[in-house]
């Protein structure tokens, strides 16, 4: 039977439950172990496998490149994933229309749509139909990474205010352009800036 790369990464974290582990340690172990178990095959992109497990909430992201496994937490959080039956129900209830931007599969037959937790799992959101919504892949991506974009937006707002105070037209124009891009794409609309 062929050993799964995913299972190998999982096993390593499970053996080291409760310990914060940085990428290189896991990568070194799984590449060597995979090679040994398969008589020389190469483990493709172990970094990606780790990131994926964190996305699936199997691992806790401690800091950049550092992850930890905790059995109770992993189990509790996995209970809050929507089942495929629930996903189907939410799609049937809301149709293939993005709850954020209104993108409709009717007009974009090749677009991908996701089921999203309205209240995120990390904030205690449950896997119940009422907490599910349909998002297009763009809105889903932005929501997942909203922390990064909101940090960026706040930074440019600060810079914008500073430039206003110092009457620095060049920086002012630069920030204005950037902030308009946020607006144009409806990203982090809840963070306001004074034009």
CB of residue 19 vs Zn ion: minimum separation in angstroms?
Answer: 39
DSSP letters along 9-67, please? HHHHHHHTTT--EEHHHHHHHHHHHHHHHTTS-----HHHHHHHHHHTTSSEEEETTEE
Using the minimum distance from each CB to Zn ion, give the nearer residue, 59 or 116.
116
CB of residue 158 vs Zn ion: minimum separation in angstroms?
Answer: 28
Q: Which of 157, 186, 188 is nearest to 172 (CA)?
A: 157
Provide the token pair at 167: 């009457």
Cβ 135 vs Cβ 114: under 8 Å: yes
Distance CA 170, CA 137 (A): 35
Using the minimum distance from each CB to Zn ion, give the nearer residue, 74 or 139.
139
Using the minimum distance from each CB to Zn ion, give the nearer residue, 173 or 186.
186
> Using CB under 5 A as the criterion, which residues of the chain lie in contact with Zn ion when the complex forms?
98, 100-101, 103, 136, 139
CB of residue 146 vs Zn ion: minimum separation in angstroms?
Answer: 13
Using the minimum distance from each CB to Zn ion, give the nearer residue, 9 or 139.
139
CB of residue 138 vs Zn ion: minimum separation in angstroms?
Answer: 5
């Amino acid at each position: 039977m062929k050993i799964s790369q995913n299972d190998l990464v999982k096993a390593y974290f499970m053996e080291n439950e409760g310990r914060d582990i940085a990428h290189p340690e896991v990568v070194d172990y799984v590449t060597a172990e995979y090679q040994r178990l398969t008589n020389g095959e190469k483990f493709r992109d172990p970094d990606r496998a780790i990131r994926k497990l964190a996305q699936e909430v199997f691992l806790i992201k401690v800091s950049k490149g550092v992850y930890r496994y905790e059995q109770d937490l992993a189990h509790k959080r996995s209970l809050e994933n929507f089942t495929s039956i629930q996903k189907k129900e939410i799609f049937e209830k809301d149709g293939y229309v993005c709850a954020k931007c209104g993108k409709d599969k009717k007009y974009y037959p090749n677009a991908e749509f996701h089921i999203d937790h309205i209240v995120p799992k990390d904030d205690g959101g449950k896997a119940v139909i009422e907490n599910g919504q349909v998002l297009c892949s763009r809105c889903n991506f932005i929501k997942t990474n909203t922390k990064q974009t909101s940090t960026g937006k706040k930074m440019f707002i600060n810079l914008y205010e500073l430039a206003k105070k110092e009457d620095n037209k060049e920086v002012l124009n630069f920030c204005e352009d950037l902030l308009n891009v946020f607006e144009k794409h409806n990203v982090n609309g809840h963070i306001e800036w004074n034009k």
